[in-house]
Chain A
Amino acid sequence: MTPRRRRMMLVALIVLGVGCAVAFALSAFQNNLTYFYSPSDVAAGKAPTDRAFRVGGMVTKGSFQRPPNSLEAHFVLTDYAHDVKVSYTGVLPDLFREGQGIIARGRLNSEGEFVAEEVLAKHDENYMPPQVADSLKKQYEHEHPSANQTPSSGS
């Protein structure tokens, strides 16, 4: 082989390798994406039952329950139109509290309760995850089609 042909071979190999990597990456992408749904989506049955997803909303005031000395927590997430019951076992983030916007990642069980594997809250009292703010805003506009003012997105 001439050096030129060798180099061409090398380049071809590299292109092939990169191509394979990209194809791999894109196909595996689909399996690792976690979609976000609002409580209304969940209530409408849009959320999958067979795979994990994220749900975000405000923790309803007065909904938080925990059996004494247990790590099991139950609370309700709302977008002020529909509610989702959530259960979580473990240490909740520092800023988890009622009235706070949070995001939970997990799955729906057969009773329609969302079993969270992870709960995220942010280090800011007025913080609302943009995804939550967005879905709350949509909900508000849906109910008040003529309203010009929307709730603050609170970022």
Chain B
Amino acid sequence: MIAELGHFALILAFCLTLPQAFFGLAGAALRRPHWMAVTPRAVAGQFVFTALAFGCLAYSFLQNDFSVLYVAENSNSALPTFYRFAAVWGAHEGSLLLWMLVLSTWTLAVAAFGGSMPQAMLSRVLGVLGLISAGFALFILTTSSPFARLWPAAADGRDLNPVLQDPALAIHPPMLYTGYVGFSVPFAFAVAAMLEGKLDSMWARWVRPWTTVAWMFLTVGIALGSWWAYYELGWGGWWFWDPVENASFMPWLMGTALLHSLAVTEKRGLFKSWTLLLAIGSFSLSLLGTFLVRSGVIESVHAFASDPSRGLFILIFLAVCVGGALGLYAWRAPLFKSNAGFAVISRESFLLFNNVLLVTATAAVLLGTLYPMFLDALKLGKISVGAPWFTAFFLIPMLPMMFLLAPGMHAEWKRASFGRTKSLLGMLFAISVVLAIAVPTIAYGWHSVLTIVGFLVAFWVAGSALIEPIERIRKKHSLSASVLGMCVAHFGLAIFIIGATTVQSYKKETDLSLGIGQSTEVAGYTFTMNKLENVTGPNYDAVQSEVAITRDGKPITVLHPQKRTYRVQTSPMTEAGIDAGWGRDLFVAMGEQIGPSTWSLRLQYKPMVRFIWLGAVVVALGGLIAVCDRRYRQRVPVREAAGSDAQAKVA
């Protein structure tokens, strides 16, 4: 009964996306205020019914209703309550419903906070979002309904995939989706601006906070995924250039470019068509990511049930969205000429380089991800692109960008003279070079030139991110939230670079066999296996080993890594034992039993690995601070900034 109610609610939600799209777009085109007035109401209704559908599915999970096929496939009565709720998005159908819920939440938020926008603009944005919602609702209803019944009902469920039974992974998909789907908002704004034929600084000011919030969630989502892969997959790596990771990273890269391009569009009224392209690109890459992950074209834990009709639907949807938006762009782009100029050395140029380099990096990742699939589809052989290639071709555009980032933050608009900061930056660079050579070499020993370069850019970026806040505080000037947010985000990036450089340069990894009472040494730490024992969890049995770690005879910690066997799915799972610390992580994972009381173990020493995720969190925090800027909250449109006089008129 509840499942049918959910299915019915989803159908109603779909039905409401149609008036949302129609009255939003047609009302704005025909200038009918009472048509446009319908749109926010349709949005509210759509949200209520989508939330109801989601609630019904969650209820079925919590009630262990194994007559619902999706519940029977992804839950079990022994599954702890928290994971039973998280199991809602544990597989294809439910995660699409989550996607739909997130989209309607974003739409509702746009409708609620869009009061300062002209009605026509708001209606168009909501209309475009309505079209996207309609596509997704149709997708769920026709190919992947989570409400299908199983008759006769299963006695018990097949349980949630054990790798997903983890707190970080329970919140990873909602975060990631909020980011992914959030890029539909700038996309909708871009399409609305093209329909309207008008794009000015106010438009950029409306889009910026939405883009920043979406990007912020995506940042956190990707970081959570990386953290999870680190401790749960039992390999101890933090990034694998796996197609699924790339699928979430590409929209992030392009979204980052969009954030910076929007800054130019808002402040100077430049880069308009470029901003539009990036907005279209970010969302297209989000959709492409969904296609890659959901269609089963890539082999991965994420590619659950792969059904060709689903892949085809998303591919067609992708083609319609991207094709439609790009077609509109080709038709309307000539309207968005900007005639303001800027000098070769100016903030604009730096941001242009930022954009070009970020898009180049995106293109490299895209090439490496899609090329094997194209070859396979064309029957030209089966290949895979190795992680070293990705690393190299990601760093080639990113390293120059990091060097340019520091002066870019301090360059003036139009024509940069750098004024007083010139000598400051020079000094900072000199200090960074000295520190970059001294710090890692003294702390860990010489590794390679790339390590020094990594530390150099980190110190260089971190230092220049501090200049502005320190100067303003010293002079007791106020610091706007935008500027502070930018500085914090760039500082977070520096933290990330330090973490990534240190761990990649100085990590120690060994696989070895260890019996009870035996010990070994890794990176100055002595690992001793004390005992092996059997332990029982709520829905699994495990072999647990006790590994004591000492350094110079002093006890550091005792770890308890496990090898679990989940009772229902009977698949073994490695639960690593990790001693986490800011300076280093010690990582122990159990391999397999290779003797009566001997196991193969994976021991790792990971210096400063926590800085990777700390950096990502600080970057996201920077986004949060920037969104709080007062100018985004001003209800009455203020006079537009200089340069926006270049705005195009309706043809």
Contact = CB atoms under 8 A, between A and B. Distances in A.
B299 interface: yes
A17 B386 CA distance: 24
Contact of B571 (A3, A32, A94): A94
Nearest to B563: A94
Given A17-B356, A69-B513, A69-B595, A32 B389 contact: yes
B394 to A, nearest CB: 11
A151 interface: no
Contact of B385 (A9, A29, A70, A124): A29
A58 to B, nearest CB: 16
Contact residues on A (Cβ < 8 Å of other chain), bracket: 35 or more
B571 A35 contact: no
Given A71-B513, A94-B234, A54 B384 contact: yes
Interface in A1-34: 3, 6-7, 9-10, 14, 17-18, 21-22, 24-25, 28-29, 32-34
Interface stretch (B6-14, B524-532, B586-594): B586-594
Nearest to A38: B382
B370 interface: no
A32 B515 CA distance: 39
Contact of A18 (B360, B574, B601): B360
B46 interface: no
Q: Kindly name the residue among B368, B589, B591 whose own CB sees the greatest number of chain A CB atoms within 10 A.
A: B591
Secondary structure class of chain B's binding surface, majority of residues: mixed
Given A3-B341, A21-B396, A122 B367 contact: no
Given A28-B393, A29-B385, A7 B591 contact: no
Contacts of B397: 21
Interface in B498-525: 511-513, 515
Contact of A28 (B389, B595, B600): B389
Contacts of A144: none
B573 A32 contact: no
A125 interface: yes
A91 B600 contact: yes
B386 A34 contact: yes
Contacts of B364: 21, 25
Contact of B371 (A29, A71, A90, A134): A29
B299 A130 contact: yes
Contacts of A14: 352-353, 356
Nearest to A95: B571
A55 to B, nearest CB: 11
Contacts of A122: 299, 301
Contacts, number: 108
A39 interface: no
A110 interface: no
A123 B386 contact: no
A129 interface: yes
Given A122-B301, A123-B301, A71 B512 contact: yes
Interface in A31-56: 32-36, 54
Contact residues on B (Cβ < 8 Å of other chain), bracket: 35 or more
B573 A94 contact: yes
A155 B594 contact: no
Contact of B515 (A10, A69, A91, A124): A69
Given A32-B389, A34-B384, A35-B383, A7 B341 contact: yes
Secondary structure class of chain A's binding surface, majority of residues: mixed
Q: Kindly name the residue among B364, B382, B386, B563 whose own CB sees the greatest number of chain A CB atoms within 10 A.
A: B382
Nearest to A29: B389
Contacts of A139: none
A62 interface: no
Contacts of A35: 381-383
A6 B296 CA distance: 48
A7 B339 CA distance: 12
A35 B598 CA distance: 36
A25 B393 contact: yes
Nearest to A15: B356
Given A71-B594, A91-B589, A21 B360 contact: yes
A94 B572 contact: yes
B511 A125 contact: no
Interface string A109-142: 0000000000000111100011100100000000
Contacts of A29: 367-368, 371, 385, 389
B599 to A, nearest CB: 10
A10 B344 contact: yes
A117 to B, nearest CB: 11
A25 B365 CA distance: 10
Interface string A79-117: 000000000011110110000000000000000000000
A130 to B, nearest CB: 6
A23 B432 CA distance: 33
Interface in B348-399: 349, 352-353, 356, 360, 363-364, 367-368, 371, 381-386, 388-389, 392-393, 396-397
A68 interface: yes
Contacts of B563: 94
Given A29-B371, A92-B592, A94-B573, A71 B383 contact: no
A66 interface: yes
Contacts of B572: 94-95
A18 B389 CA distance: 17
B398 to A, nearest CB: 12
Contacts of B569: 125
Contacts of B162: 123
B119 interface: no
Contacts of A17: 356
Contacts of B393: 24-25, 28
B571 A155 contact: no
A66 B161 CA distance: 30
Given A29-B385, A54-B384, A123-B301, A91 B570 contact: no
Contact of A125 (B344, B571, B598, B600): B571
B389 A68 contact: no
Given A10-B344, A92-B592, A32 B371 contact: no
A6 B389 contact: no
Contacts of B598: 69
A15 to B, nearest CB: 10
Contacts of B382: 35-36, 131, 134
Interface in B155-190: 161-163
Contacts of B349: 10
Contacts of B591: 71, 90-92
Nearest to A105: B384
B84 interface: no
Nearest to B344: A6
B602 A155 contact: no
5 contacts: A17-B356, A33-B383, A35-B383, A71-B600, A92-B591
- Nearest 4 A/B pairs, CB to CB: A91-B591, A32-B389, A36-B382, A90-B511
Given A29-B371, A89-B511, 12 more contacts: A7-B341, A22-B363, A29-B389, A32-B389, A33-B384, A68-B594, A69-B513, A71-B594, A94-B563, A94-B571, A95-B572, A123-B161
Interface of A: 3, 6-7, 9-10, 14, 17-18, 21-22, 24-25, 28-29, 32-36, 54, 66, 68-71, 89-92, 94-95, 122-125, 129-131, 134, 155
